[in-house]
Amino acid sequence: MNGMIIEKRSGIGRFFTGVVVRSAERKLGIGSMLLHRSLSDIKAEGLRNAEVETRDGITASKYLYPKYGGKKHTVQG
């Protein structure tokens, strides 16, 4: 987890870069632990939602974020 932006006015916590785990250490629960702790911190700040912006094909966007209710939203540019 490289950083969070906490927006108390909107009630949303945004992950600035998201969860990154070295490929050799994946599938050990490290990413889940990092994300769970970050979401707990966001909740402790009184926020009710979290958002992550990422690229297609990122491991966390495919497997980790959906475990915690993450949904894909496509932005047209």
d(CA 10, CA 50): 11
pTM across the whole model: 0.69
**Helix, coil or strand: residue 5:** strand
Q: What is the pLDDT of residue 1?
A: 55
Q: What is the pLDDT of residues 16-66, one digit of tens each?
A: 666 778 889 988 999 899 888 888 888 888 888 887 777 777 878 888 888
d(CA 49, CA 59): 21
Lookup: tokens for 67:
């475990």
Identity of the amino acid at 41: D
